[in-house]
Structure 1
Amino acid sequence: MAPPFGNDAETIGRTAPGSPRFGRRALLAGAAAVGAAGALGAAGCSRVPSGDTLARLKSQGTVRLGIAGEVPYGYIDDDGEFTGEAVELAKVIFKRLGVDQVQPVATDFSSLIPGLQTQQFDVVSAGMYINKERCQQVIFSDPEYQMLDSFIVRKGNPKNLRSYQDVVRTKAKFGTGTGYAEIQYAVDSGYPEKDIVILQDQVAGLNAVEAGRIDVFAGTALTTREVTKKSAKAEATEPFAPLIKGEKRIDGGGFTFRPNDTKLRDAFNVEIHKMKDSGELFRILRPFGFTEAEMTTLTAEELCR
């Protein structure tokens, strides 16, 4: 997700072909009561030691997942059901950990880490990018995917924009999403932060490019290629690794846990590595637009550095 930089906003709803008609506001409104009830229920339940979250989840039989209402990570589909790559992956892994029920709790992306820290949910499953800043606040599973960047541009890419350096050189009118990591990538490449057009999400970015309000919208390769599939006026550029301080940056997204939940995170990692080795992980992610090129052997430790 152009998962945001210090995130804490990995973004707001992306939309792909066949994605839900439900808007992000509808998702949040529909889940707000569930989230509040879930938080109260969890606070009053457990008789297991407070430091053993995995034991508590097994005892209560339900895990509350913080999601951001974002395609393809966690969202409501056309049938009104919670789904997404992170949600479907969570269902499989927590079942194997002895937790039968998954209860998604929708919130704004910027509220995911604070909500986790205040126990509004047990785990964040939003495909959140793993970076040094977040690793100072939370711990991560090893990533389920890696991701390059891409631009939404007018058909034919008239300004030939294929990197942040191209955007700076041509003085193109640049936009990206609320809290996206791409904000910092553009700034690190020399684009004036005050000139960046901040839009709600990649759908708003597509609309702005099509209307000529901006020249380019930056997001992840997955979301840009999905959102432009049916556009007659815009296209996605080839994926690229942002060049930051002379080094290529490849991001990876994973599940997010409280710092004291190492036992839960480690048990989760055991299962996700089994799924990587067997190919099951890709089979779960592929229906949500992921390709084999986005499968990864990166670790959270590497990305935290």
Structure 2
Amino acid sequence: MNNKLTSTLVALFFSLGAGAAVAADLTGKTIRVGGDLTYPPYDYFLDKKPAGFDPEFMQLLADAGGFKVASVDTRFENLVIGVSGNKFDVIASALYINPERSRQIAFIPYMKTGISIAVLSTSSFKPLTPEEFCGKRIGFIKGAAYKPKLEQLSKELCAPKGTIIDIREFPSSPEATQALLSGNIDAQTDDSAVIKMAVEKTSGRVMISSKENIFPVLGGLGLNKNNVDLKAGLEAAFAKIKANGKYYELLKAYNISEPSPDEVAKVLASEN
């Protein structure tokens, strides 16, 4: 993607102008939100109700924009297809931004995080980085944005050594963790907050072997590119929760951060 086009896209992503708010009044409307509610701490059910970062973020937008939210529980690999086919109006599911997805849907960037590696606490295999994955079975949720990076690593680093990274995909993160616990994979990769929760829920049976965030990633709300009015209305509501500080309180609660325009430009310009 050339620099001029990247700059144009980023400008669009961060255009939270007052004109957009006037042109797209969402007051009284119900917005259907697609999310994979098997992905704590971002998206999950608590007492049969959606909970986590994304439902909280969408509720903040709803309160600021005067609209209602209706949750549509959807497996991760079907989210982009679903919003493109108008099965729901917006994706709020820790969806990472990358060039391929940005060609299919529109994004409103709203968070920055990274990937961690989890292994069994009793395992002798405790990789610090993906460069140690050669010859190992690595599991993660289906549709993960960093899969092409691992495939490239397998081809360029492992294949010359006569081995590969044995990539195993699962419908949900908890299923990948279960595969790790049962010995069907050697390590699990996932969002750092997700891996942290997996460690807490398994009472020490699983540990984080990596020391730093790997493949730093940006997440965004995803929308059908034709739904420009909704995008403008959500951006206007987003501007309000930035101004009143509630957005930054939520980021702090989940130990994630706000992406900058430069970071978005870099992600869109890089080819995975």
Tell me the TM-score range normalised by the shorter chain. 0.7 to 0.9
Alignment map for 1:1-305 (pairs within 5 Å): 54-55=24-25, 57-58=26-27, 61-70=29-38, 71-77=40-46, 79-99=47-67, 101-143=68-110, 145-155=111-121, 158-168=124-134, 171-190=135-154, 195-229=166-200, 230-238=202-210, 240-242=212-214, 249-276=215-242, 279-285=245-251, 290-291=254-255, 294-299=256-261, 300-305=264-269
How many angstroms apart in 2 are the aligned matches of 1:133 and 1:91? 28
| 1:152–1:224 CA contact under 8 A, matched in 2 | yes
Helix, strand or coil: the match of 1:126?
coil
How many angstroms apart in 2 are the aligned matches of 1:238 and 1:271? 37
How far residue 267 of structure 1 moved from its aligned partner, in angstroms, is 4.0
How far residue 88 of structure 1 moved from its aligned partner, in angstroms, is 1.6
Q: One-letter code of the match for 2:188?
A: F
> What TM-score does the superposition give when structure 1 sets the normalisation length?
0.68
| Unmatched 5+ stretches in structure 1 | 1-51, 243-248
Report the CA distance shift for 1:67/1:296 in structure 2 as closer, same or farther (over 3 A). Answer: same
Q: One-letter code of the match for 2:168?
A: V
| 1:182–1:218 CA contact under 8 A, matched in 2 | no
The alignment covers a number of residue pairs equal to: 237
How far residue 91 of structure 1 moved from its aligned partner, in angstroms, is 1.6
Report the CA distance shift for 1:203/1:105 in structure 2 as closer, same or farther (over 3 A). Answer: closer
| 1:149–1:218 CA contact under 8 A, matched in 2 | yes
Greater relative contact order (Cα 8 A, min sep 6): structure 1 or 2? Answer: 2
| 2:223–2:231 CA contact under 8 A, matched in 1 | yes
| Unmatched 5+ stretches in structure 2 | 1-21
State which drifts further: 175-184 or 267-276.
Answer: 267-276
